[in-house]
Chains A and B, each alone.
Chain A
Amino acid sequence: MTAVIETRTLSKWYGNVLGLSDVSLGIEPGITGLLGPNGAGKSTFMKLLTGQLKPNIGSVSIFGRRIWNDFETFAKIGFCPESDAFYEEISGWEFLTGLLSFHGFSKAEVRARAEKTLDIVGLTGDKDRKIRGYSRGMRQRIKFAQAIGHDPEIIILDEPLSGLDPLGKRKLIHLIKDYRDQGRTILVSSHVLPEIEAMTSRIILIHQGKILAQGDIHYVRDLIEAHPHVISIKCGDPRGLAAKFVNEPYVLKIHFGPDGDSLVVETHKRDAFFGRLNQVVLESALRVEEITSPDDNLQAVFDYLVGK
């Protein structure tokens, strides 16, 4: 798939402070999670993508066009900023219809889109209330609404789940996945890893202005050779199973779980291990209850890459 968003040696300084350094990547249709701790450069990256900041070095292109001052491309982009800022004196309806009118839609189309979008985010009943009277969650939802109201091809969401209750988060994640299924490009930033994991396995990890890793979480994990994979197996005879692997060269460590019915194996060749495990289970008719990979997740990948 061709990348919709492309950056080439993208760098940004704030005086002497490095915001982003030498970022070259392509973002394809689907959901891409942008992960990093606070101050990593996520918002800087998003502001560069949305033309709010100008790169010091390098370039940002969307649909092959440089984004800075290219107002026409913004018809295809929806941006949900991180900051909790609104025109407080107007209602949610007025806010949404006002911003939709900037896209050149007719009055009837503006109304129709606004009604549909408010229904999607669940704010139809509160549309005539002033935004200053909205709760935190409602404010986040109206912010999301203004990003999707004009049916953009690219949706850039900066911490979209912040302030939402668990039901609200679940609903929004579901919505984002729907947009993915429609073939749109969605970039979501967060510092809460489980939220991103719930949406996508395609991630960009950013730390101190630099990209640490990019791609499918599992492939990224595989690339981290310095940290062996940890695999936990719950079965009827953990010690018997351990004996089958103790001579294998790719098994680095074996220890037993505190409950006595599981063993934890560390290996730097996951595929070889699983190949052998299948053989052993079939040969010995071993009853295996559960196989998990405790560190095959985003938190572990992030921790390893950041060097914790």
Chain B
Amino acid sequence: MATIREKGYSHWDGALEERKFPWWPITRTGIQLAFRRKHFKFFFSVSFLPAVVFLVGIYISERIEDFKFMIKGSENFIKINPAFFKTYFTNDSLLFLMVMLLVFSGAGLIADDLKHNALQLYFSRPIGKKDYFLGKAAVIFFFILALTLVPGLVLFFMKLVFSGNFKLLTGYPWLLPAIIGYSALLTIFFAFYTLLLSALSKNRRYVTILIFAVYIFSDVVYGITFGIFRSPYVALFSLKANFQQAGAVIFGQRLPYAFPGYLSFFVLFGICAVSAAVLHRRIRGVEVIK
């Protein structure tokens, strides 16, 4: 029996294949949208400044003989060791730039979906909540790893290249895992942090303020409570202090605050756990409005 098909829709007789990484289109779109925002490319480039400064430091450390006449006590100047890497990863400017990058790239990740009722569009496709979160989180992973792991590995690699030997590797065999581990810690934390705040409101402007304000607020509260109570434990209120404490633990350095380092990990992972719980509740395919 002959059939006449109208132009346009015809039934697909082939087999439907499931994508291996269902979350990938979400990540790809998130990254593309971030780069489309005005001035983002400029700001992203500026974020690499701390890495460039530290790279120059590594170069100077290898060419210290040439700079000896300029610098007194140059033998002790710029020693490339785990402390150097810890200084890079925990310096205030890098953390601040990361927060600003999150504002640009992460504020609207979930907030815009809530505003435009796009969650139903996502969950009417063959992706689950896990894929949705992973896709969104991977956008943050991309940008934070670009500022942490990538420069960290580049600095490590360039030190080996400039020095012409493997002393750094043999002298500190745990340094490379430390770079990877600390980068992973920052990345995972900031992903949960950003997604939590982005899920709290449909208003991107409000989320922008929240991302920045919560970070600053934690420091302000630490400052105030330290001024009142003079206890080192109040540093647990500050996200920055917790990063610095965790960084010191991971890079095997002296702890900047007089409390056990594992407490900082508890705080950071505790925030991640709270974030996961709130996200699970907040992100739904269907919303019942009373």
Contacts and interface: CB of A to CB of B under 8 A. Distances in A.
Are A and B in contact, CB atoms below 8 Å, in the complex?
yes
B290 interface: yes
B2 interface: no
Interface of B: 289-290
A255 interface: no
4 contacts: A130-B289, A132-B289, A133-B289, A133-B290
Interface in A105-144: 130, 132-133
A130 B290 CA distance: 9
A132 B289 CA distance: 8
Interface string A158-178: 000000000000000000000
Contacts of B290: 133
Contacts of B289: 130, 132-133
B156 to A, nearest CB: 48
Contacts of A133: 289-290
- Range of interface residues on A (Cβ < 8 Å): under 10
A130 B289 CA distance: 9
Closest 4 A/B residue pairs (Cβ) = A133-B289, A132-B289, A133-B290, A130-B289
A12 to B, nearest CB: 24
Nearest to A132: B289
B94 to A, nearest CB: 38
A138 to B, nearest CB: 12
A125 to B, nearest CB: 16
Contacts of A130: 289
A238 to B, nearest CB: 31
A133 B289 CA distance: 6
A211 B290 CA distance: 46
B52 to A, nearest CB: 37
A136 to B, nearest CB: 12
Nearest to B290: A133
A177 to B, nearest CB: 34
B119 to A, nearest CB: 15
A132 B288 CA distance: 11
B179 to A, nearest CB: 47
Nearest to A88: B202
A103 to B, nearest CB: 29
A25 B290 CA distance: 47
Contacts of A132: 289
Nearest to A134: B289
Nearest to A133: B289
A133 B290 CA distance: 6
B214 to A, nearest CB: 23
A83 to B, nearest CB: 13
A251 B290 CA distance: 65
A275 B158 CA distance: 96
A176 B290 CA distance: 32
A54 to B, nearest CB: 24
A169 to B, nearest CB: 24
A132 B290 CA distance: 9
Nearest to B202: A88
B147 to A, nearest CB: 35
A236 B289 CA distance: 62
A68 to B, nearest CB: 28
B290 to A, nearest CB: 7
A247 to B, nearest CB: 42
Interface in A222-238: none
A133 to B, nearest CB: 4
A294 to B, nearest CB: 24
B44 to A, nearest CB: 26
A135 to B, nearest CB: 10
B250 to A, nearest CB: 45
A15 to B, nearest CB: 15
A132 B202 CA distance: 13
Nearest to A130: B289
